[in-house]
Amino acid sequence: MDVWVAGVGEIPCRKEYVDADFREMLYRAAVEAYADAEMDPSSVDGVVSSGIDFYEGISITDSYTPDQVGGRLKFNSLVSNDSLNAFIHGCMLIKTGRFKTILVAAYSKPSNILNYPEILLNSLDPHLLRPLCPPHYALAALDAQAFLHRTGGTGLDLTAVAAKNKRNAVANPSAAYGERKTVEELDRSETVSTPLKRVHVAPLADYAAVVILTNASRYGKVLVEGVGFSQGFQSTDLSSREWGRALWVRTAFEAAVKGSKPKSIDFVEVSEPFAHTELMILDELRLWDAPVVDSLRRGDFDEDALHPVNPSGGCIGMGYALNASGLQRVVQSVKLMESRGWRRCLAASLDGEIADGGSLVVLRRVG
């Protein structure tokens, strides 16, 4: 049974929405998604929400979602992970044959969070790591340094990723941090943890997204061609982590393409909380013959080049929407395929800022 994206909706990324709480944000995104799908709420059989209690500050966050998105008294489920994983859950529910239409919703309201570093600290081992209180920038910097050492990259390569994504975001009305600056200008940014600079870190953003999935091809805009996910190899004490590698990507990618030779990918959308995250994921995808750092330096990943990566601006250009970043990638992918005429894309997202696991989907525009 095929699964289709019938409609997508979002509200633009902003540093802070002072005029709307998360309920209003979700409502606005849902209105856009229903209009895009040419459906009304009565068509939806169930809702899959993405939420993490630590981010929301309340428990059982999915109980606050259905009313705003047209899911009152309907099937409701919460996926406490990145929203791309919730998207995959929605696809699986449709494939059971018991649901014809599923709405997937996610939001991010980091402007309400006063102690974000402490929240991330609680994801680490409580006996071996948490007492040391390592800043999350330091852990990300270890990944970045290991990747650069293995591939022969430099800090300027990370800045080149940031410059590309910020430049792409300028034309995106949903982006909050687009700007046109040279690599040299951006590289003057302060260092947060060597080799990471401030510009290499995706700034947080308030955001909400809704995607409507269906098994009816007459409503379908984009076919969900394949999905995959992996928890990676990370333990909470980081003892099994292989620094500088995103090993989960190969498992997820092979599941998405079902072991066959990958078909042509027109562009890639990646959730990158840090600049090196994008390069690590591309390195493991191995979609192209050249080493990832060489491709970056040649400009192969630019918006108008051979292999566009994050033409939306990614998280660095749009804003890092925490667990809503995965659904942000899907919404942007669908919009880009419709506006640019691209036919196939790959979207990938981490389970969290310092996680070694994530999800991946392949989408294809039909017609």
**What length does the chain have?**
367
What angle (nearest 5°) sits at the alpha carbon of residue 235, between those of residues 231 and 240? 100
Q: Rounded to an integer, what distance in angstroms lies between the CA atom of residue 241 and that of residue 158?
A: 22
Q: Rounded to an integer, what distance in angstroms lies between the CA atom of residue 47 and that of residue 65?
A: 8
Alpha helices in 187-274 (DSSP H): 248-257
Q: Rounded to an integer, what distance in angstroms lies between the CA atom of residue 326 and that of residue 334?
A: 13
Q: Rounded to an integer, what distance in angstroms lies between the CA atom of residue 104 and that of residue 84?
A: 9
The continuous run of DSSP H or E covering 208 comes out as strand 206-214
Here the tokens at position 73 are 């008294």
Q: What is the pLDDT of residue 366?
A: 86
The 3-state secondary structure of 142-204, one letter per residue: HHHHHHHHHHCCCHHHHHHHHHHHHHHHCCCCCCCCCCCCCHHHHCCCCEEECCEEHHHECCE
CA-based torsion, 32, 35, 40, 44: positive or negative: negative
Domains contained in the chain, CATH given: 4-114+207-214 (3.40.47.10), 116-203+224-365 (3.40.47.10)
The verdict on whether omega for the bond into residue 195 sits within 30 degrees of 0, i.e. cis, is yes
Q: Rounded to an integer, what distance in angstroms lies between the CA atom of residue 83 and that of residue 94?
A: 17
The one-digit pLDDT tens for each residue of the chain (367 residues) are 899 999 999 999 999 999 999 999 999 999 999 999 999 999 999 999 998 887 887 777 767 788 889 888 899 998 988 999 999 999 999 999 999 999 999 999 999 998 888 888 887 878 878 888 788 899 999 999 999 999 999 999 999 999 999 999 999 999 999 999 999 999 999 999 999 999 999 999 999 999 999 999 888 989 999 999 998 666 667 777 889 999 999 999 999 998 666 778 999 999 999 999 999 999 999 888 899 999 999 999 999 998 999 999 999 999 999 999 999 999 999 999 999 999 999 999 998 887 788 999 999 998 7
Kindly report the pTM of this predicted structure. 0.95
